[in-house]
Structure 1
Amino acid sequence: MLINRRKFLRSSGQVGLGVAVSGPVHGLLSRATTAAQPGAAAGYGPLVDDPKGMLALPEGFSYRVVTQAGKTRLYSDHASPGIHDGAAAFPAPDGNVLVVLNHEVRGGPDDDGAVPHLRGYTWREDAGGGCTVVKTTPDGKLIWETVALAGTSTNCAGGVTPWGTWLTCEETDNDGHGYVFEVDPVDLQANRDPQPIKALGRFVHEACCVDPDTLTIYLTEDTSNPYGTVYRWTPPTGFRGRSGALKALDAGAGELAAMAAADRSGKVVADLDQADTVGTSYTVTWVPVTDRDAARGPVRSRDGITRAKKLEGAWWADHDGVPGAYLVSSFSDSHRGQIWHYDPKASSLTLTTVFAVEADGETVEAPDNIVAAPFGGLIVSTDGDGDNHLAGATDDGTAYPIARSQMGSEFTGPTFSPDGTVLFAGIQQPGTLFAITGPWTGPSTSGGDRAPARSEGPERGAQPDADEDKAQTAEGAR
């Protein structure tokens, strides 16, 4: 995964773990190009059923179970939480990998799969969702898992930032929830005293992505009555992207606006579902949101905006050399689904992929979480009514299967290791994180333009700070 290394360096001066990283934030943002598609754009061949009943993969691919809800253990000795969803992989200063993992628990702290309420890392007492950080070896073997955020609700997807953190999204606006929170995978101390990023609004957040040049954030909303929309947050003048900067902003900082996409006649498109042809393009304007905290009702209820049923994943990447925001509309045409690409310079929204498709004996439909692949194109997790897959999608709209769930639950949170050799992905129920390896095709998987992250100070051991985590265990479990 490629990024301009001159521009986006992780901020120094971090604490917790005793680490300050100033290397390239590789593996987080990516260019989705057509230069190195797998095989002849036909995928990796038929999927082979797993005798263990977990993942069907192409010949030559294999998986490792990294975490399992209730079976593996947190560093605090609680059982690993479940209900896995969005995730992202980051480089650890010692050459290992840090995966931030959402837990989409809709109930309270006593619900199955809930994230333990640890002192200092819990926002509210009424909710069981949150995030953990999973540290693995470069090939995906578990080293430790620890709580980074608890007391939030329905943590669905999210997005990575150019400064090397994770934005986790609450997919609910019930009972005062509905915010975005920032999680730092390296500096665990930075996750203490969690606070919502109120400048990004309170609504049914699904996913987000960040323009690395302007630090503008694009956010999707997955809900109904009425359907959700796409939002754009423009940062205030002088905003600097670094860990903790977003939650320090005033609630009204920057501008939050909702998407209004218009067809060639200038008419606002009410529902993205009406498009069914790859290449369909709309002109986009942005309608300012004045009631960000939804004090007068749902933010999406205003007139003159474009909506869609089940807006899902978001990822910043190039499409045919044009940088922009990939956005998923999952329920188009009876859950067939679409992938769109927004070009901010042209203010245009273009349909790049239409599902469902038949490939290698599999029906791929209902795209959900997405990530740009290091060898080009996108990797998509699906959440449909039939079989659920990890699938690839090329820039020309071709989709191909990579894996099929045999566990009766959807795939979530696909994310590549920083060196592009391991695809981490989850199965939501009850919650399993996998590390998938195989003959990924393309020059980036052999190193490409990636450079190792540099540490300006030694890491204090190969696990979270022992005193800190023991304090969590002794004081925090409630």
Structure 2
Amino acid sequence: MSVTRRSLLAAGGIAFSGALGALFTSRAGAVRPTRGYGPLLPDPRGLLDLPAGFSYRVLSRAGGPLRSGEGPVPANCDGMAAFGAGGGRVRLVRNHENRATAALRVPPVAGLTYDPGALGGCTALELGPDGRVTGERVALAGTAVNCAGGRTPWNTWLSCEETEERAGTSGYARDHGYVFEVDPADPRRSGAVPLTALGRFAHEAVAVDPYLGVVYETEDAFDPPFGLFYRFLPARPLGGAGSLRAGGTLEAMRVPGLADLAVVDRPGAEFPVEWVRVPDPSAAGTAIRYQDFGRGGITHAQKLEGCYWGGAGVHFVSSYARRGEGAGADHHGQVWFYDPLRARLRLDVLFGPAADIRLPGDSPDNICLAPDGGLMVCEDGGGAQYVFGVTVGGEVYPVARNADDIGPPGAPEWGEFAGVTFSPDGRTMYVNAYAPGTTFAVTGPWQ
């Protein structure tokens, strides 16, 4: 990425809609926190800078041995979710966004491998009541570019392949571009089965409506026409583990008269939504975003990233948009909210385009809801990399800074953050440094 946050020192910042109640869902009567936890302190170990009173534990690091003995910990740690396992124990499921050139692949394991020629997948960590790692194993292998995903109401993980490559390319023996379900308690129960009805495209993330069972999906396409926002209507809604294999209907979002979400620059702006059936979810001949959606076309957006359910609707992120790359306007991050009951789409948060150095103005990516009802935002841009918090009042504060310099001498470089998530009790934040692949557990006086 050529634009860094430190080149964006003009006036501006983050703009919020007046309807943040739908985005930030703190408990009724809770005291809204003040801005953050104070300045970040340099880490003597040179790994993770945190505010005073906070500490971290390195749970896993790429290249170290998996406790299962299946091989080394894979690289490129990305999307992640935490699941309660009873008795204070926690299970983490972690994606590895490995392409065909990855140096540390997800080890192929019998019964868990989709395509032996693909190097991505997921690993699962078991944490004891004291927060220490008691187990680490392969949960899915033989998939490609596993970026983000999302959890289901029945406590499984949906891992997304951010690629559309076919068999015969990059050493692959099978087509890719699918979602895979992973059971964190016993990955062999889920196996390595692509959920083909959810479409074949460059998946980024998913969120499941816990009331109706609708699955929402984001597409991170790198070339125009850019990605779409989808919903999948399962044949067996809320049917539990394995139910998404039963098929269903895939639809794409159309906002009448709005071909590109990037042109919207007024937080609070609302639009009616229509859903159009995808002609060919398998993309057998033509990628979905190129397909003919009939009169009225379809609505695209550059860099559709994080997607999650909160409150009474689904939130999704456009990390940035650039006219020079084919977008209809420039911005440095949007957070959208879709209300399924009203079939309305609203822009809730606009990052930039000109942002203060203290604000997360450089490509928000993975986002999760924090215990206080605000947001945690993983930054994925140039220069220093942060996890930022955004309070329910719209104040922005730093939570963590990657201090692990992986650049050559004289050219510092830090890996992006990804996969931010919280333990079920809200006392621990888990987050990945993409490179070098490191999983942290952060504890402290969370609001």
**TM-score, with length taken from structure 1:** 0.78
- 1:182 aligned to 2:181? yes
Query: Could you say what secondary structure the match of 2:244 adopts?
Result: coil
- 1:163 aligned to 2:146? no
Structure 2 unaligned blocks of 5 or more: 1-22, 167-174, 323-329, 405-413
Structure 1 unaligned blocks of 5 or more: 1-29, 442-478
Q: Distance in 1 between matches of 2:301 and 2:238?
A: 32
Retained in 1: the 8 A contact 2:32–2:393? no
1:234 maps to which residue? 233
| Residue 346 (structure 1) aligned to one of 342, 345, 355 | 342
Shift of 1:289: 0.3
Provide Cα deviations, 1:369-410, integer angstroms capped at 9, x if missing partner.
111122202212110123222122345544322111223100
Retained in 1: the 8 A contact 2:112–2:187? no
Q: Distance in 2 between matches of 1:155 and 1:429?
A: 15
- 1:57 aligned to 2:50? yes
2:368 maps to which residue? 371
Cα distance change, pair 169–377 in 1 and its aligned pair in 2 (3 A): same
Query: Could you say what secondary structure the match of 1:145 adopts?
Result: strand
Query: Could you say what secondary structure the match of 1:174 adopts?
Result: coil
Query: Could you say what secondary structure the match of 2:289 adopts?
Result: helix
Retained in 2: the 8 A contact 1:38–1:440? no
1:297 maps to which residue? 286
Q: Aligned pair count?
A: 394
Shift of 1:365: 2.9
- 1:399 aligned to 2:396? yes
Q: Distance in 1 between matches of 2:338 and 2:51?
A: 32
The one-letter code matched in structure 2 to 1:352 is: D
1:424 maps to which residue? 430
Shift of 1:76: 2.2
Query: Could you say what secondary structure the match of 1:246 adopts?
Result: helix
Shift of 1:113: 2.2
Shift of 1:73: 2.5
- 1:272 aligned to 2:278? no
Query: Could you say what secondary structure the match of 2:243 adopts?
Result: coil
Give the 5 Å matches for 1:34-183: 36=30, 39-40=33-34, 42-107=35-100, 111-175=102-166, 176-183=175-182
2:270 maps to which residue? 281
The one-letter code matched in structure 2 to 1:198 is: T
| Residue 198 (structure 1) aligned to one of 191, 196, 199 | 196
Retained in 1: the 8 A contact 2:153–2:238? no
Retained in 1: the 8 A contact 2:214–2:237? no
1:436 maps to which residue? 442
Cα distance change, pair 85–38 in 1 and its aligned pair in 2 (3 A): farther
- 1:306 aligned to 2:299? yes
Cα distance change, pair 363–62 in 1 and its aligned pair in 2 (3 A): same
Query: Could you say what secondary structure the match of 1:332 adopts?
Result: coil
Cα distance change, pair 38–102 in 1 and its aligned pair in 2 (3 A): farther
Retained in 2: the 8 A contact 1:313–1:327? yes
Shift of 1:32: 2.7
Shift of 1:430: 2.5
Retained in 1: the 8 A contact 2:96–2:121? yes
Q: Distance in 1 between matches of 2:32 and 2:138?
A: 36
The one-letter code matched in structure 2 to 1:348 is: R
Q: Distance in 2 between matches of 1:261 and 1:166?
A: 29
Shift of 1:80: 1.0
1:409 maps to which residue? 415
